[in-house]
Chain A
Amino acid sequence: MAKITLSNLRHSYYPDPKGPDDYALKMIDLDWNDGGAYALLGPSGCGKSTLLNIISGLLVPSEGRILFDDRDVTELPPSQRNIAQVFQFPVIYDTMSVRDNLAFPLRNRGVDEATVSRRVTEIAEMLEVTDILDRKAAALSPDNKQKVSMGRGLVRDDVNVVMFDEPLTVIDPHLKWKLRSKLKELHQRVRATMIYVTHDQTEALTFADQVVVMQEGEIVQIGTPVELFERPAHTFVGHFIGSPGMNILPCETTGGTAMFRGQPVALEGEIVPGDGARTEIGIRPEFVSLADSGIEAVVRKVSDVGRHIVVETLIGEDRVAAIVKDNAPATGETVHLNFRPDRTRLYRDGWLATTAGEAAQ
């Protein structure tokens, strides 16, 4: 068990990187607290697997250091870091039984057979694979295979961190939910630090206490699922999390007021002064309502998703989605939109540029 510190980490797959574009990871500074449940969320190719492989030791970073507590492990091979990793496709040793698969990491480290057998029994019970312990691993279903590869990670009680690299990719949808809650339960039982890499926001938000959102090799925001949803630090987070994502509308600022299509828009707080060419208003569809007066918009599409109705409208060429409970307008109708001021943010060059209003605090 340990706190993991990533300090001034950069990584490039090129031998001599020239510009920032050559870096798969651009300057990462991050602490993972002992026992936390983290999700690393981002689109494909954002560098999350690179980051994971650096923590596990499969990759040595071009620059920067990794500390487990205060011990520098940057140069240590994976086997000496006491970490566990579960891969996208289940990795099992085909010729061994489930029991031998689970015992493998312990036996490689010369643990005595009594302890091995005790740990394997414990883990098997936790994962509910006790009844298949003596089956050959090759014959298992994908979800059981993935459980076995998780088990190989959890079987060592000195493990510093367990990392999951999109572990539910090959699992049937109806088992995904089950395995996800199993993971959450395991985290509560073993209390090891867990890092869960995914591009699926539902997986990230249900598993993690803290979500780290990455984009193009950079961390754009770290926060609880609620924080990410309510106050995205970057338009990317607003857009990536939520369904549909945050409405991002180009605007101008004059004298501390945001102007959208010539009309002032009330914001959550003061605009933070700064330079930047591009300013945008961000508001989640959940906080856009239809009213008798307000900004005029034309309804483009109405979709009833069951729990609520998503109304997609156009203000000029700008698309704005709104979520309503009932009384959906018809397509083509002209409606008036209201933005809830304490949920309306201003972004400058993509980054949040309003001070939090009292309501949001």
Chain B
Amino acid sequence: MKTENQRAWFLVLPVLLLVAFNALIPMMTVVNYSVQETFGDNLFFWEGLGWYEQILRSERFHAALGRQFLFTGLILVIEVPLGIIIALSMPRQGIWVPVCLVLMALPMLIPWNVVGAMWNIFTLPDIGLLGYFLNHTLGINYDMTQDPLAAWITIVTMDVWHWTSLVVLLAYAGLVSIPDAYYQAAKIDGASNWAVFRFIQLPKMKNVLTIAILLRFMDSFNIYTEPFVLTGGGPGNSTTLLSIDLVKMALGQFDLGPAAAMSLIYFAITLGVSWLFYTLMTRDDLN
């Protein structure tokens, strides 16, 4: 008779411990804070779902969430098509391929706070190259520390500058994997350039674009460093995105309970949207 036991489970124990220490336990601490009130000294009072209710009803959260969706929506609408267009116009072979790839990868190699600092200096009205040029040469009144619109244009432009390359590189990888025969067959079938894009290139790029959009959604939805360095959430609250608001609440005001509840709601939204998007995009493949 075959002996059965459950000892194989011990093999996953190391991984379980690792995940517990770096993810589960910290996460449970947050859950712990989110349902209690504390005044320090390890004194806790049960709050139940009170903080969640407070966050979900707070206008401050609604505003930050709205700004967050606006920001993520804008950068996706710009970066995805722009990335595809750049990938389509990159050479497929020859000595310019590595040159283009390295140039494309450069922005992504710069640390995020450096990107924020660069753009901060770049756009200063009196000494920044762009700020000076706009204000003193073109005569456009541009100051992102005063004008919310200027601040928005700046953070969106900065993100496009920083991250379009990711879409480009992934889309390019999808494009170069298309065998020549597809293009040749399309030529013989008399397909227009648009038809080649619509029926060959886009379907072949679908998987990598799904990943690109997913990564850009998650990263931009959780963005903190660059806008923090660039605008600090201002002027006023106009560029206070979710993560900036969260840090203000948790570390600025030391409202640990509401901040914990907010971070869990924040996490649930990111996870929910990502899951929904991925499921919708890969649904066809499963059938």
A contact set with B: CB distance below 8 Å: 53, 56-58, 77-79, 83-85, 87-89, 91, 93-96, 104-105, 108-109, 139, 149, 152-153
Contact = CB atoms under 8 A, between A and B. Distances in A.
A85 B188 contact: yes
Nearest to B184: A58
A152 B184 CA distance: 13
A105 B181 contact: no
A87 B185 contact: yes
A93 B200 contact: yes
Contact of B181 (A78, A88, A95, A96): A88
5 contacts: A56-B188, A85-B184, A85-B185, A105-B189, A153-B188
A77 B179 contact: no
B188 A79 contact: yes
A85 B204 CA distance: 21
A84 B185 CA distance: 8
B203 A95 contact: yes
Given A87-B185, A91-B185, A96 B199 contact: yes
Contact of B185 (A95, A139, A149): A149
Contact of A89 (B179, B188, B199): B179
Contacts of A77: 187
B58 interface: no
Given A95-B199, A95-B203, A89 B190 contact: no
B191 interface: yes
B209 to A, nearest CB: 14
B137 interface: no
Given A88-B181, A91-B182, A78 B195 contact: no
Contacts of B179: 89, 91
B192 interface: yes
A108 B181 contact: no
Interface residues of B, number: 17
A105 B190 contact: yes
B243 to A, nearest CB: 38
Contacts of B203: 93-95
Contact of A108 (B182, B184, B195, B287): B195
Closest 10 CB pairs of A and B: A108-B190, A87-B181, A91-B185, A79-B190, A105-B189, A78-B187, A93-B199, A78-B188, A95-B203, A94-B203
Contacts of B287: 139
A93 B195 CA distance: 10
Contact of B190 (A53, A85, A95, A109): A109
A337 to B, nearest CB: 48
A162 to B, nearest CB: 10
A77 B188 CA distance: 8
Contacts of A94: 203-204
A78 B184 contact: yes
Contact of A104 (B182, B187, B189): B189
A319 to B, nearest CB: 40
Contacts of A108: 189-192, 195
Contacts of B189: 79, 104-105, 108, 152
Contact of B191 (A58, A95, A104): A104
A92 to B, nearest CB: 9
Task: Output the residue of A53, A56, A58, A153 with the most chain B CB within 10 A.
Answer: A58
A300 B55 CA distance: 91
B206 to A, nearest CB: 9
A91 B204 CA distance: 12
A88 B181 CA distance: 8
A105 B181 CA distance: 16
Contacts of B185: 85, 87, 91, 149, 152
A85 B185 CA distance: 7
A88 B189 CA distance: 17
A123 to B, nearest CB: 14
Contacts of A93: 199-200, 203
Contacts of B182: 91
A104 B186 CA distance: 10
